[in-house]
Structure 1
Amino acid sequence: MAQNLNGYHRALDLFEGLVAGVSRDGWDAPSPCEGWTARDVAGHVTGGQHMIRALAAGTPRPDTNKDPARFVPGDVLPSWQKARKECTAALTGDALTALIPFGRLGELPLCTFLEGYILEPLVHAWDLAQATAQPSRLDPDLVHHAFATAQVVAAPLRARGHLAAPLTPPKGANEQTRLLAFLGRA
């Protein structure tokens, strides 16, 4: 099975660039994610790396929504980089072909999950950019791919209260704006 994780790694690179751009005093800024600060957003995505590593190892997954800042104590960038490095090391050929549970869709190979997972770091890159007054233009190719994923995963996420109701995008909006509106972001 061929594994193309290029989009996944590009989304992580984008997120990491934004983490690196946050000033020391910027981590307490409120984010577009209700009740979360910039640190919480970074912790949630960092926790996602711990979750993927757990999927690769077949171990229990951490809850990345509960107290997400715990994943990035102190200086955020080194915490993120360590989690990303450890996750990448866990993505062996065997791990990538292993079947993992994926809700109502049943099981799918971890590599297939990661191809769609770009939605998570991509959208939270935008959230982090908004919270910390950084440029928020996302990679159009990743946005296109993430929008397709969002169509599949949005309903169950909304049902669990993890995603806001969709908003109506402005007429003539670009795909990034339409994706963000679909995910409840203005």
Structure 2
Amino acid sequence: MTNTRFGSATVELPTDTQILITRRFDAPASLVFTALTTPEHVRRWWGWSSSEMIVCDIDLRVGGRWRYVVRDEHGSEFGWHGEYTELDAPGRMVSSEVFEGFPDAASLNTTTLTEADGVTTLTTLAQHTCREHRDGHLEAGMEAGMQHTFDRLQVLLAEQGSVAGRYRRVAAGFTAVAAAVPFDGWQRPAPCVGWVARDIVRHLVEWVPPFLQAGAGCDLGPLPSVADSPSAAWAALDSALQSLVDDPSTAHVEFSHPQAGVHPLDGAIAMFILGDLLVHTWDLATATGQGVVLDADEVHRMRVGIEPITAMLSQSGHYHAPVAVPADADEQTRLIALTGRQP
């Protein structure tokens, strides 16, 4: 993991009442936005590492509120809260911010994320009501704390952007959908023609292990019967795959397959397995009457990857022909339509 951006955030003072913060991250904007707005991630990077975040509430919608409370090493607690006034994921977010120790010194923070060549530039413009409040913000040690917290965010993004981190997020989505399938849900028709929900798990269990065995000699071991328990079969496959991508040596193993080509093993998993698992998460959710929001970073990666080759993919029988959707459809809808499914 590179650390060349550690300590690289900049602070400017455009006016007497403003603070402008800029920081670049080696990660796509969708991943940065998720890390900024998901409690389980925020708990891992926000604030000093010597402090414990004991409250992290985020209601991510216009009019929704957020609140963070940290406890330092001396046991003192400090709180911040605010309300979202604009949200345009993953590029823009506007919210108020109130430090509860000085409730009259609120600011309005406008955060933008601009991505170019896989690097996301974050800017936050903090608008205070007067110079006194702005200077109080600066004099409270804001810059040192900001550098530290952004460095922690960079570490998290590197982890989340690894194949192991990407697989963990996508697999967690499939696991959550599978866990919510009702008792009789596994026999419900699936979007894939001729399949029921159970067949989605059967497909994964039947093609992934022999694919990895043929390309890299990986033995994922015996898996439970899909007929007996789709959930157990998926859990075993998931555990085996996660162990494989968590192993640092996987990046140095060559994967060579007559149809799929030659790749590092972790690259092959990212290229061929993640996208399949992502789309089949939607299939399983749709088959069993569940709404699902797929991982935004993986949706973006896959859409950009397959959009130029959709004709080839449909001609080869990999997908059906793309389905037309409105020009302003969200990216998940556009991806699902590209795979020939009706969103």
CA distance in 2, matches of 1:42, 1:14: 14
* Deviation per residue, 1:14-68 (Å, 9 max, x gap): 011111110110011111101111000122123354246525752699xxxxxxx
State the structure with more CA Rg.
2
The answer to which of 48-57 and 4-13 deviates more is 48-57
Alignment partner, residue 128 of structure 1: 284
CA distance in 1, matches of 2:237, 2:259: 28
Q: Report the CA distance shift for 1:80/1:51 in structure 2 as closer, same or farther (over 3 A).
A: same
CA contact (8 A) 1:30 1:38 kept: yes
The answer to which of 110-119 and 100-109 deviates more is 100-109
Alignment partner, residue 67 of structure 1: none
Aligned: 1:9 with 2:164: no
Give the CA deviation at 1:157.
4.0
Alignment partner, residue 326 of structure 2: 170
CA distance in 1, matches of 2:331, 2:169: 18
Higher relative contact order (CA 8 A, sep 6+): 1
Give the CA deviation at 1:133.
0.2
Alignment partner, residue 115 of structure 1: 270
CA distance in 2, matches of 1:168, 1:151: 13
Q: Percent identity?
A: 31
Alignment partner, residue 137 of structure 1: 293
Give the CA deviation at 1:136.
2.2
Give the CA deviation at 1:95.
3.5
Q: Please show how residues 61-76 of structure 1 align to structure 2 within 5 Å.
A: 72-76=226-230
TM-score of the pair, normalised by structure 1: 0.80
Alignment partner, residue 181 of structure 1: 337
Q: Report the CA distance shift for 1:57/1:109 in structure 2 as closer, same or farther (over 3 A).
A: closer
CA contact (8 A) 2:181 2:288 kept: yes
Q: Report the CA distance shift for 1:29/1:136 in structure 2 as closer, same or farther (over 3 A).
A: same
TM-score of the pair, normalised by structure 2: 0.46
Give the CA deviation at 1:125.
0.4
Coordinate RMSD, CA, aligned: 3.0
Query: How many residues are treated as equivalent by the alignment?
Result: 178
Aligned: 1:37 with 2:199: no
CA contact (8 A) 1:53 1:90 kept: no
Q: Report the CA distance shift for 1:105/1:84 in structure 2 as closer, same or farther (over 3 A).
A: closer
Aligned: 1:86 with 2:240: yes
CA contact (8 A) 2:216 2:253 kept: no
CA distance in 2, matches of 1:89, 1:75: 22
Aligned residue for 1:101, secondary structure, equals: strand
Aligned: 1:18 with 2:177: yes
Q: Report the CA distance shift for 1:123/1:71 in structure 2 as closer, same or farther (over 3 A).
A: farther
